């Protein structure tokens, strides 16, 4: 649908933005790249007292994925990030068990925030046409 505004002798056309469509292979690539980024963040922040910063930084990535790619892809990215952080960031490493209660709270808060960000994102299916 195009809107035509007559401006003098030359009409000006405005078109509504088209819906973005992404293939499944592109979505899978985004999930894998974000999982790799979560793995890099977990190795980078593993030592020291700044461990809870890695899920907080990754939450910004989940929000941007939710905005540009939609709810479903951002939910997959959030699940992949949560599993990577549980496995490689918090003790014991290379296990899904999280022993420290503070680390468990950080992981649960990340999961709740990521799910909320994904569910509150505007999807192309819900935009008015």
pLDDT digits (tens, 9 = 90+) for 114-127: 999 988 887 654 44
What is the per-residue pLDDT across 56-91, written as a single tens digit (0 to 9) for each? 999 999 999 999 999 999 999 999 999 999 999 988
Residue 112 exposure: Cα atoms within 13 Å on the Cβ side: 6
What is the rounded distance in angstroms from the CA atom of residue 70 to the CA atom of residue 94?
30
Q: Is residue 73 part of a domain?
A: yes
By 3-state DSSP, what share of the chain in percent is helix, strand and coil, each rounded to 5?
Answer: 60, 10, 30
Q: Is residue 15 part of a domain?
A: no
Q: Is residue 67 part of a domain?
A: yes
- Host domain of residue 114: 23-120
pTM over 0.85: no
Number of domains forming the structure of the chain: 1
Q: Is residue 98 part of a domain?
A: yes
- Annotate 76-114 with DSSP letters as a single string: HHHHHHHHHIIIIISSSTTSS----HHHHHHHHHHHHHH
């Amino acid at each position: 649908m195009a809107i035509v505004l007559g401006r003098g002798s030359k009409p000006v056309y405005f078109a509504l933005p088209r819906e973005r469509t992404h293939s499944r292979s592109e979505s899978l690539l985004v999930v894998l790249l974000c999982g790799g980024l979560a793995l890099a963040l977990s190795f980078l922040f593993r030592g020291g007292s700044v461990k809870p910063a890695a899920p907080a930084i990754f939450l910004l990535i989940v929000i941007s994925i939710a905005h540009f790619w939609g709810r479903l892809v951002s939910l997959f990215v959030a699940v992949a990030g949560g599993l990577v952080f549980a496995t490689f960031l918090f003790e014991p490493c290379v296990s899904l068990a999280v022993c420290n209660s503070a680390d468990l709270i950080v992981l649960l808060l990340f999961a709740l925030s990521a799910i909320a960000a994904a569910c509150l994102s505007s999807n192309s299916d819900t935009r008015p046409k």
